[in-house]
Amino acid sequence: MTKMTASVPMRKRALAWLLAASTLIATPAFAVNTIVVDVATGKVLSQRNATQRWYPASTTKLMTLFLLFEAMEAGRLTLDSDLVVSSFAASRAPSKLGLPPGSTIKVRDALYGLAVRSANDVASVVAENLGGSEEAFARRMTARAREIGMMRTNFANASGLPDERQISTARDLAILGSAIRQRFPAYAPLFATESFTFGGRTYTATNKLLGRVPGVDGMKTGFVNASGFNLVATARRNGRGVVVVVIGGETGRARDARVEQLIDAYLGPAT
């Protein structure tokens, strides 16, 4: 778990940016923001404070994966491509795979590291290999977010590690989750993976609804102190699919319970 910290100059710059955008983020105690979207139609079935800006934490990695999927689709990378690990990437705070500087990781392993383990070192590796630097990649993330309709999102890094400039909304994260489902259906099993093995060690998914709540088949959790507990979840029951976003949960258990309640409410009981 990572605390939200920044230098005084950084805090001043971030505050100026937020004021210029005229959208201050609400501060904890956490007001839980939610949205439920029908995957097939894009119809919003339910929402609460869905456009309130909030720190996305590791749900950020959905956009990192989105750009990685696009690079593979364009033929710039394959599952067997090697990604080089820099000293900066290796130094990123946990969660991580513990990649040594100067080593490489296959794209196929990076996918699992991001989607299942939520590895911050892997996020930086992907950013640097695709964008030249994490800062440049974050600019590309923000630009791509705008192009798919995420109008209230700004990315400052590829992982979701604390940065006051890194903001999104429940609605924007639902747009992203839906876009991944629609654009890249072949990668749906990646988000449903409950564990994977890398470097002789087995890692379990951060999404604890997988295998426990019927119909849940993805996507991504997130937590930093300033955000509380976030989850973008996808589920399918009774021939219908939804993307459910809950951000700002006080505990992981409370967040998961709220996601489960919303799935039951809009997909009906599991059969």
As a whole number of angstroms, the distance between CA 210 and CA 205 comes to: 8
Cα dist. 94→24, 156, 261 in Å? 28, 18, 30
Q: What's the mean per-residue pLDDT of the chain?
A: 91
The answer to pTM > 0.75 is yes
Answer with the residue of higher pLDDT: 214 or 6.
Answer: 214
Q: Which residues pair with 245 in a beta bridge?
A: 35, 232
The domain segmentation of the chain, as residue ranges, is 8-267
- pLDDT above 70 as % of the chain: 89
Q: Is the pLDDT of residue 153 over 70?
A: yes
User: pLDDT tens for residues 203-220?
Assistant: 999 999 999 999 999 999
Range 114-128 average pLDDT: 98
Class of domain 8-267: alpha beta
Cβ contact 34:257 at 8 Å: no
Q: Residue 35 — φ and ψ, nearest 5°?
A: -155, 145
Cβ contact 170:34 at 8 Å: yes
Q: Is the pLDDT of residue 19 over 70?
A: no
Query: Quick one: angle between helices 134-147 and 61-73, nearest 10?
Result: 90
Residue of 236, 209, 206 lying closest to 221 (CA atoms): 206
Rg value, the chain, Cα: 17
Q: Is the pLDDT of residue 22 over 90?
A: no
175-186 in b/e burial notation, b at 16+ Cβ within 10 A?
bbbbbbbeebee
The residue length of the chain stands at 271
Residue 269's pLDDT is 86
As a whole number of angstroms, the distance between CA 79 and CA 95 comes to: 23
